[in-house]
Amino acid sequence: MSVDDRLFDEEGSHSRENVAQIEPIGDLELLSGARLAEVQVAYQTWGSLNAARDNLVLVCHALTGDSNAVSWWGRIVGPGCVINPDDHFIVCTNTIGGCRGSTGPGTLDGQGNRLGSRFPAISVEDMVNAQVSLFERMGWPTPRMVCGGSMGGMQALEWARRNLCAKAWLTASAGQHDAMQIGFNEAMRQAIIADPKWNGGDFSPSDPPSGGLAVARMIGHLSYLSFEAFQNKFGRRTQDGQPDVFQVESYLRYQGSKFTSRFDAGSLVCLTQAIDRYSCESLEGCRTPLLLTAYTSDWIYPPTQSQKLADLANQAGCPCQYELIDLPYGHDAFLLDGDIQTQFVNTFLYNGPAHTSG
C-alpha cells in the first residue's frame, strides 16, 4: 500500500482489541483542585530494561489513540523501527480521559452507569501526573526519551518542562492551541452536544450519540490532511453509480461511522477541552534537550508553532533542535513518515541535539 493510499485508509492504524494491562494508581489530585477517585491507567510495553536501566522510551498518543503504539505508529515504534524493542523498553499509556482502559467519562460505576458528566475536567498536566504515578508504582526509571505527536507532543513537552526525562521529541505539535485549533475542536464538541442522545454526557452505553460523534470525526478528519492530499485523491469525482454523491462525501461518512465503534463521545469532548486549555508560554528552567519536528503541509498544527517552541527554548537556554520536513500529507504526516523522522530521532537519541538551534 502506498503512502497516498494509507492517508485514506485507517484500517490497522488502531488496535482492534485492547490488550493493555490495567494498573490502579489510587486517587489523583487534578490541576483544577478536584479529586479523581480510584484512577486506573491502561498501558502496554515492549522489550525490557537493560542492565543500566537507561533505555526506557515513553510514547504518548494523540487525541484518538490508545496504548498500542506499535499499531498506530508502526513506522516509528516496533521491530525494525527507530524505537524498537530490541534496544528499548517501550511504554505507552492510554491517557486518563480516554476510552481504551484508563479512567475516563465512559468508565462504569458500581451500578453499570457511565461516569459521564460526573467525570471532572482534566488537563494535560493531569495526564502526565497519572503517567508519573504509574511509573512510581511500577518502579520504572527516568525515561531516556518521551515522545509523541499532536496531543502526545503536549504530554512530552510537559514531561520535559518538569525535567522528568532525559530527552523529549515533539512532532506535529504545539505549546498551545491557536484560535483555529480551538475552533475546530469546538465544532466537533458541538456536533456531539447537539445530538439528542448526548443527554448532558449521561447517555446510555448501549445508545450513544453516534450521529454527533460521526460528524465530529468528519470535521476532525478534514483538518488532519492537506488540501493537496484531498484534491489529488478525490477532486470533484463522484461515486460509481451515484452521480449525486461526491467521493469525498462518501469517504467522510464512512470514516465517521467507523469511528463510532471504537471511541467514546465523552472522551472526545473531555480531551479536546484539555488540549485547548494547555498553554506553555515559557521554558525557563527546562534543561531537557528537545527535538521538534514539523511539516510544511500541516495547516492545523502549523510549523510556526514548533518554531515558537524552539524560540522559547533558545530564550531559556534549553538545548533544542528544530527540523522542518517538506511532505504533502498534512498533519497525519507524523504517522506516515517513517524515513525522515527516523533519521532525526536516531541522531537525537544517540548523539543529542545541536545546542539551541532554530
Neighbours of 10 (CB within 10 A): 17
Q: How far is CA 34 from CA 58, 103, 119, 207, 352, in A?
A: 27, 15, 10, 29, 39
Q: What is the DSSP string of 286-304?
A: --S-EEEEEETT-SSS-HH
298 labelled catalytic = yes
Which of the residues 223, 331, 332, 337 is marked catalytic?
A: 331
The three three-digit cell numbers of residue 97, written as one number: 480521559
The three three-digit cell numbers of residue 147, written as one number: 515522545
Angle at 262 between CA 93 and CA 158, to 5 degrees: 30
Q: Of all helices (H) and strands (E), which one includes residue 276?
A: helix 265-277
The three three-digit cell numbers of residue 52, written as one number: 543500566
Angle at 172 between CA 170 and CA 175, to 5 degrees: 65
Q: Name the residue among 113, 131, 129, 119 with its Cα closest to residue 42.
A: 131
Decide: 181 and 189 in contact? Cβ < 8 Å: no
Q: What is the DSSP string of 187-244?
A: HHHHHHHTSTT-GGG---TTS--HHHHHHHHHHHHHHHS-HHHHHHHTTT-EETTEEE
CA-derived radius of gyration, the chain: 20
Which of the residues 66, 195, 298, 337 is marked catalytic?
A: 298
150 labelled catalytic = yes
The identity of residue 137, as a single letter, is R
Coil vs helix vs strand at 316: helix
Q: Residue 24's beta-bridge partner residues?
A: 40
Coil vs helix vs strand at 62: coil
Which of the residues 15, 71, 123, 150 is marked catalytic?
A: 150
> Residue 345: CB partners within 8 Å, gap ≥ 6?
76, 82, 83, 147, 169, 291
User: What residues are annotated to the active site?
Assistant: 150, 298, 331
